[in-house]
């Protein structure tokens, strides 16, 4: 199973209610006249941004959303009831496309922001509205118009302040568990993270949102592995935190792994590559204390990284308080 960051659904607005053909029939009013009322409008379909959602998985199972029809008009000039609008909740950061034309309909970036995706049909006109000086007994009505129906594509870019970047099994999931309330699945094999997780960091009352993105592999930018599918989610992050496993279980070179990820970013998108970056050297608890400074200095030299470096253990929390302070410091000084 993989994270659903795109989905296709059909939306159908309600039809307008038909106008009514009716004439007054009252005992003491011989010339009763037309009294057919208008129908009601069909319901619209809206997408609504909801900050509590962070995946499109709901739309894997529910692919059809239809608003109700307006009620037909009635005699005695009674208008039919208009149908309620249908509101479909989606995560923030969703772009909405018309599948038929590939046109961008809109994007939802604010909580409770709404976007009309299918307009309800207009109500039909009752015969009372057609009465005139030359037509005292009109038998003309109009049916309600059909509501819009279309297939739309939803594309989600996770909205987060900080995007975690790194090879599979670098410890990103463990880190987000350690420093936030998020609880992504953690294990000692590659591609543990199949669903990006959002964690909220709290620091003296201030909050930042961190996105744990599935680990990248070499050639992710051209579609290898899971990475390519998720690179675009990093595009919204204001800061990238590159997490490096200082003692990989597969005995690969940490500096080489670091450079591979950086190269994938550069190949995928230069704007993404140019985002500000911090480095977290993880799993330092696996290195004997007397050798840590030497190992870290050697890595920084070999990697060529020039930014701010934090030495941590996501497993036991070593260095994580300093990392959190550094992350909030970046946004404070931004």
Is 18 a member of any domain?
yes
The pLDDT value recorded for residue 111 is 93
Comparison of pLDDT for 172 and 314, the residue scoring more = 314
Q: Are residues 191 and 317 in the same domain?
A: yes
The pLDDT value recorded for residue 151 is 97
Is 84 a member of any domain?
yes
The pLDDT value recorded for residue 83 is 98
Last residue of a domain, one of 156, 174, 192: 156
Q: How confident is the model at residue 21 (pLDDT cuts 50, 70, 90)?
A: very high
Q: Are residues 92 and 22 in the same domain?
A: yes
Whether the pLDDT of residue 221 is over 60: the answer is no
The pLDDT value recorded for residue 142 is 97
Percent of the chain past pLDDT 90, that is, above it, reads 57
Q: Are residues 150 and 167 in the same domain?
A: no
Q: Are residues 85 and 173 in the same domain?
A: no
The pLDDT value recorded for residue 184 is 43
Whether the pLDDT of residue 87 is over 60: the answer is yes
Q: How confident is the model at residue 100 (pLDDT cuts 50, 70, 90)?
A: very high
In the sheet that 197-203 helps form, which strands lie side by side, from edge to edge? Answer: 197-203, 206-212, 162-165, 239-245, 277-282, 309-311
Q: Are residues 174 and 202 in the same domain?
A: yes
Domain that holds residue 176: 162-333
Helix pair 320-333, 172-179: axis angle to 10 deg? 80
The pLDDT value recorded for residue 208 is 84
Q: Mean per-residue pLDDT for 326-332? A: 93
Last residue of a domain, one of 156, 188, 215: 156
What is the CATH number for 296? Answer: 3.40.50.300
Comparison of pLDDT for 107 and 157, the residue scoring more = 107
Q: Mean per-residue pLDDT for 111-126? A: 97
Residue-wise over 60-75: b if at least 16 C-beta within 10 A, else e?
eeeeebbbbbbbbbbb
Comparison of pLDDT for 211 and 214, the residue scoring more = 211
The pLDDT value recorded for residue 186 is 39
User: What pTM did the predictor assign?
Assistant: 0.61
Q: What is the DSSP string of 64-130?
A: EEEPPPPPPPBTTTBPPPPPPPEEEEEETTEEEEETTTTEEEEEE-STT-EEEEEPPPPPP--GGGG
Q: How confident is the model at residue 205 (pLDDT cuts 50, 70, 90)?
A: confident
Whether the pLDDT of residue 49 is over 90: the answer is yes
Comparison of pLDDT for 186 and 144, the residue scoring more = 144
Q: Are residues 148 and 183 in the same domain?
A: no
Q: How confident is the model at residue 66 (pLDDT cuts 50, 70, 90)?
A: very high
Q: Mean per-residue pLDDT for 256-268? A: 87
Per-residue pLDDT reduced to its tens digit, 161-178:
898 888 878 888 889 888
Whether the pLDDT of residue 3 is over 60: the answer is no
Comparison of pLDDT for 101 and 199, the residue scoring more = 101
Q: Are residues 85 and 177 in the same domain?
A: no
Comparison of pLDDT for 236 and 193, the residue scoring more = 236
10-14, 258-262, 281-285, 308-312: least confident range = 258-262
Comparison of pLDDT for 70 and 205, the residue scoring more = 70
Q: Are residues 216 and 143 in the same domain?
A: no
**Of 296, 298, 321, residue with least CA distance to 309:** 296
C-alpha span between 9 and 1 (Å, rounded):
20
Is 1 a member of any domain?
no
Last residue of a domain, one of 156, 183, 215: 156
**Average pLDDT over the chain, rounded to an integer:** 85
The pLDDT value recorded for residue 159 is 67
The pLDDT value recorded for residue 134 is 87
Whether the pLDDT of residue 185 is over 50: the answer is no
C-alpha span between 121 and 12 (Å, rounded):
10
What is the CATH number for 62? Answer: 2.70.210.12
Q: How confident is the model at residue 200 (pLDDT cuts 50, 70, 90)?
A: confident
Q: Are residues 188 and 297 in the same domain?
A: yes
């Amino acid at each position: 199973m993989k994270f659903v960051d795109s989905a296709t659904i059909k939306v159908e607005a309600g039809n307008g209610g038909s106008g009514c053909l009716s004439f007054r029939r009252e005992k003491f009013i011989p010339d009763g006249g037309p009294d057919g009322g208008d129908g009601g409008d069909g319901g619209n379909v809206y997408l609504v941004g909801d900050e509590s959602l962070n995946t499109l998985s709901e739309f894997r199972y529910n692919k059809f959303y239809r608003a109700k029809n307006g009620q037909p008009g009635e005699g005695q000039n009674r208008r039919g009831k208009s149908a309620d609008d249908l509101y479909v909740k989606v995560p923030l950061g969703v772009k909405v496309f018309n599948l038929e034309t590939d046109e961008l309909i809109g994007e939802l970036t604010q909580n409770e922001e709404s976007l009309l995706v299918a307009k309800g049909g207009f109500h039909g006109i009752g015969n009372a509205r057609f009465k005139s000086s030359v037509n005292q007994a009109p038998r003309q009505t109009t049916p309600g118009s059909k509501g819009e129906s279309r297939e739309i594509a939803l594309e989600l870019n996770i909205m987060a302040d900080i995007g975690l970047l790194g090879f599979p099994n670098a410890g990103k999931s463990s880190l987000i568990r350690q420093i936030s309330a998020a609880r992504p699945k953690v294990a000692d094999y590659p591609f543990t993270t199949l669903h990006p997780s959002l964690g909220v960091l709290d620091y003296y009352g201030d909050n930042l949102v961190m996105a744990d993105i599935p680990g990248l592999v070499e050639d992710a930018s051209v579609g290898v592995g899971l990475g390519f599918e998720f690179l675009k989610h990093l595009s919204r992050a204001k800061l990238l935190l590159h997490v490096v496993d200082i003692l990989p279980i597969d005995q690969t070179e940490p500096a080489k792994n670091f450079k591979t990820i950086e190269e994938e970013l550069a190949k995928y998108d230069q704007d993404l590559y140019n985002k500000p970056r911090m480095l977290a050297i993880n799993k330092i608890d696996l290195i004997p204390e007397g050798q840590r400074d030497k190992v870290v200095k050697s890595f920084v030299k070999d990697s060529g990284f020039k930014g701010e470096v934090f030495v941590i253990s996501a497993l036991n929390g070593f260095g994580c308080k300093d990392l959190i302070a550094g992350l909030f410091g970046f946004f404070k000084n931004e």
